[in-house]
Every structure is written in structure tokens, then in C-alpha cells.
Structure 1
């Protein structure tokens, strides 16, 4: 279990619950004014690889830190609703990637010769998809342009 993420949730007053979600749903973040926020995690995540679980939980925490208001997906969307959900998902994933793979630690890994995606995934205990996403964020791209 990713203890550091559970501690962060506890400090933020976020309740974490385990539920029987129907696939492909694995996790949700829900917050309403006046109530403690809740992250619901699928019971199936208990059997997922640790790196995958860390990424899922970090993204849900990312919603807490980046999403304004309650964004609960509906079956039918207007285009503007789909765009807002996409932006909220991107912001949460960006927060997760930057929290799980901080820029200073990433640069240290590069200096140590850890440069392959799979090596970085093992080093940071995240998925390769999370590493690829992180390597495409603007702070990394700016370093590439400057270097």
C-alpha cells in the first residue's frame, strides 16, 4: 500500500472507502461543500500491482488539489461538459505525475543514468504510462528546449 498517499489523504481530511465498482471504473473522487471529500477505490485495486495502485490513488488525490466544484460524469454530455471533464482529468493526472515524479528527483535519476522509461517506472514505482505522461509535461519540455 502506498502509505505516503494515504497519509496525505488523512492530512487533507479525505475519507478513503473501498467499493465494488463495475469495471472499468476503478476510483472516484467526490466532494460537496460542508462534507468531507471521499475517494472511492475499487476492491479490485487491492490485487493490482503497487505501481498501478499508486498512480490511480495519486490521480484521485489530484482531483482534490486541482478540481474546483463537483464533477460527476453523466451518461450524456454536452460538448462543453465533456471538455470540462477532460480538463479536470488532465489537471488531476498532471498533479499526480508531478507528485509521484518530482522534477528534482527526475533530474537526479537522469544524472545517475536512469533514462529508459521502464527504468524510470521502476525507480519511481509508477507505471510506464505515468512516466511517459510526466516526460511530456511543460517543465520537462522547457528543460529540453533550454538544454
Structure 2
């Protein structure tokens, strides 16, 4: 899912997305009251823009109240929940399988294929490892998170039958 797709989805949900240069040099995005504000001065490219937008979308979906004070444990948990939502939104397990089937062989190409930054990809894989452990099963595949690997599982019906008679 890219930036434009996220914008369309947010529009359908009645969430406005605007760009505004914040006074803070470190703040890249903010969600408040059905408005997501992105700071274009601190965003490098469209991939990063999609990642920031997805996280703020995650706040729309999972957070409540003012959570800017990250000394508050409840706010930290809400921040983590929004980020986890964004990871799963932009990099669902099925997309990792699609990349494997498309013969993607390195992290740079994988991040490019998924339309996310390499940092976002690394954080996503850490999230999945925290959520599932060493690997997760999806469709007929095992997805290992560290090191990253995708393996196709063979089922009994994938093997040819042994119906020869030997005569």
C-alpha cells in the first residue's frame, strides 16, 4: 500500500490529511481530531511519507486523547499500538510471500518492493518476531523473521501418488 492508497482510504473514513511545517524539527507527523498533519520539511521521500502517514493512521484507529507525554506509560503503550498497526497495514505477512514469489533477494529490494523505508521494514520484522516468535505460518509458507526467510511448505497432496504396481 503506497501513500496515495492510504490517502484515499483515509478520505473515505473522513480523516483529513494536511501538510504543515511544525516548529519542532523532530516531529514528522501528528494526529488530532480526525486530522493528520505531516511535516514535509522532515520527510525525505514518498516511502517515508507513507510510513509516517500509516503510523498516524494507526493513531486514528487505536489511540485516544493527548499522548504526546511519552513519560506516561499509557501513552507509550498507545504509541506502540499505533506503530504495530502501521507495520501490519503496510507490510502484511502476505506481502512478504509476494516478495519471495517475485524473487526479491535482499533487504533494499524488499523495502523498495513493499514501498517502505529499510528502517520501517526492520522495525516491522522486529514487531512480527515479538508477536509470533521465530516464525509465522501464512498460506502454505513459513516466514522466519531473523534472519528473514520464506519457505514454502509442501502438503501431502503436493507429492505425486505412489500408485505404480511395479509390473
Bin for the TM-score computed over the shorter chain: 0.7 to 0.9
- Residue 96, structure 1, aligned to residue 91, structure 2: no
Question: 1:115 and 1:95, CA in 2 relative to 1: closer, same or farther beyond 3 A?
Answer: farther
Compute the TM-score of the two structures, normalised by the length of structure 1: 0.79
Greater C-alpha Rg: 2
Deviating 4+ runs (over 6 angstroms): none
Which one has a larger percent helix, Structure 1 or Structure 2? Answer: 1
Structure 2: unaligned runs, 5 residues or longer: 137-143, 146-152, 154-167
Question: 1:140 and 1:55, CA in 2 relative to 1: closer, same or farther beyond 3 A?
Answer: farther
Aligned residues: 135
For residue 62 of structure 1, the aligned residue among 49, 58, 68 is 58
Q: Please give the residue correspondences for 1:50-89 in structure 2 after superposition, counting only pairs within 5 Å.
A: 50-67=46-63, 69-74=64-69, 77=71, 81=72, 83-89=73-79
Which one has a larger percent strand, Structure 1 or Structure 2? Answer: 2
Higher relative contact order (CA 8 A, sep 6+): 1
Q: Quote the offset at 1:102 in angstroms.
A: 1.5
Compute the TM-score of the two structures, normalised by the length of structure 2: 0.70
